[in-house]
Every structure is written in structure tokens, then in C-alpha cells.
Amino acid sequence: MAQDFAEFPLEVTPPLVEAHELYRFYHIGDDETLALRGVTLTVAPGEVVAITGPSGSGKSTLLSCLAGLDEPDGGYVVVAGARITRRPEPERAAIRARNLGVLMQSGNLFDHLSVADNVKMQLHLAGKSPSTVSQTVSQTLAAVGLEDRKDARLGELSGGEAARAGLAVAMAAQPSVLIADEPTGDVDATTETLILDALQARAASGGAVILATHSREVAAAANRVIRLRDGRIVDD
């Protein structure tokens, strides 16, 4: 007797990021700029997705909306099953701390704290056990080659070191979703390789990685490339 395969439905893994019809407008005087025009996307566990497009196409605005750092004027975002859009900032911050690692082009470090203390703060915000913090800080800094710079502050770091320190903060709590805006924009080839290896390792362990980039090398390392133009997805 033929087996009825309908009895065994395929298990579907839910996406870690869902963005539905995102719109974002900016007003300067009488002028209106449409930064996002109905962007919809999903990112699954294990994916590295590169967002590409010319300057002004909406890449950074999209990442900010996905991370809950900016509110879209239309549409919404769900991260790891939690809706992050149009929530009070304390709720958005809690969702980010639990589920998101964010590496922006600047502002990733508190300049009055050492590299190690920046990582510790991120672990504290993510609710990690105090008993594991010291070991996690050491392992995270070793992974980005900064164990010897743990006591340095932002003003004492080179550009490449600052990029790696920001990456360490973003990845310290092993977030479900890692969002990075031009993560290799101002680094040398060696640092670029280290950053790419770390991002791919995060995806290989079941996380989702979304990054905006102008770099062909970075885009080539992604599983998917989404191209924006004038706030719309023109290729996926």
C-alpha cells in the first residue's frame, strides 16, 4: 500500500528576521526623501545576506530598521519571533540585547571604557551569567586577535583594531542575528579576512548575518545578495 507522505509534513525552520513592506521617509523643509519603498525580506538561520547598492540606495536605513534603531513609517520587523517595530525603546533595547549583535560604521564602542569593558557591558546587557563573563571576554577578544589590547580605549586603537573591537562587542553574546554596516570599509586585507571568517562562523553555528557592503569580496562571501536602488529591492 502506498505510503501517504502527507502524514509526514516537512519541518519548516522559521526565519530569524522578517521585514514586511518597509517604508521610510525623511523630510527636510518641503523636500521628501523616500529612503525605503516597500522592502520585504526574510533571512533564515545559517544565512549570510549581503545588501548592496549605490550610496543613497537605502542600505543603512534598512539595517537600522531591522535592528530597531530606527522606526519605519510603514511596515514592521520581526526578529527571532519578536516584533521589534513600534515598541517602546526599553522593549526594543531588550530584544536587541537578547537577539541582535549590531556593528555600525561608527559608535560601536564607549570611548571611556577599555575594549574588555565594552565587551563585558554587552554581555551584561544580554543577561549572561556573571560567572561566565571573564572567560567569554577572553575567548571573544582572542577570536579577533585583540587579547593584548584588552585594556586599550578607543582613542588608542588603530582603525583595524577599532573594527575588530566593534565586532567583538557585536558577537560577544552569540546573538541569533548579526547586523553589520560596511564591516570591512576601512580595514586592511588581513582584517577583512578575519572579519569575514567571524561572520561566516556565526552563520555556520545557526545564526543569521545581514551586512551592507560596497565590497565585491564581501558580497561574494555571502549566500545571498540583495541589491537596493532608490529604496527598492531590484535583485535578490
Residues 55, 152: Cα–Cα separation, whole Å: 33
Nearest to 47 by CA among 17, 19, 77: 17
Percent of the chain with pLDDT over 70: 95
Examine residue 5 and state whether it is found in any structural domain, yes or no. no
Examine residue 127 and state whether it is found in any structural domain, yes or no. yes
Strand-strand pairing, 31-43 and 17-28? antiparallel
- Say if residues 52 and 233 touch (Cβ distance below 8 Å): no
pLDDT at 203: 92
Start-to-end CA distance of the chain, whole Å, equals 43
In sequence order, what DSSP letters do the residues of 141-194 get, joined into one string?
A: HHHTT-GGGTT-BGGGS-HHHHHHHHHHHHHTT--SEEEEESTTTT--HHHHHH
Q: What is the CATH number of the domain that holds 46?
A: 3.40.50.300
Examine residue 4 and state whether it is found in any structural domain, yes or no. no
pLDDT at 180: 94
pLDDT tens, residue by residue, 82-126: 999 999 999 999 999 889 999 988 888 999 999 999 999 999 888
Residue 77 pairs in a beta bridge with: 19
Residues 198, 220: Cα–Cα separation, whole Å: 15
Examine residue 124 and state whether it is found in any structural domain, yes or no. yes
pLDDT at 36: 95
Number of domains present in the structure of the chain: 1
Examine residue 100 and state whether it is found in any structural domain, yes or no. yes
Examine residue 196 and state whether it is found in any structural domain, yes or no. yes
Examine residue 74 and state whether it is found in any structural domain, yes or no. yes
pLDDT at 37: 95
pLDDT tens, residue by residue, 15-69: 999 999 999 998 777 778 889 999 999 999 999 999 999 999 999 999 999 999 9
Residues 56, 140: Cα–Cα separation, whole Å: 34
Examine residue 45 and state whether it is found in any structural domain, yes or no. yes
DSSP state of 114: B
Percent of the chain with pLDDT over 90: 64
Residues 122, 172: Cα–Cα separation, whole Å: 7
pLDDT at 28: 79
Question: Domain range holding 113?
Answer: 11-235
pTM given for the model: 0.87
pLDDT at 4: 59
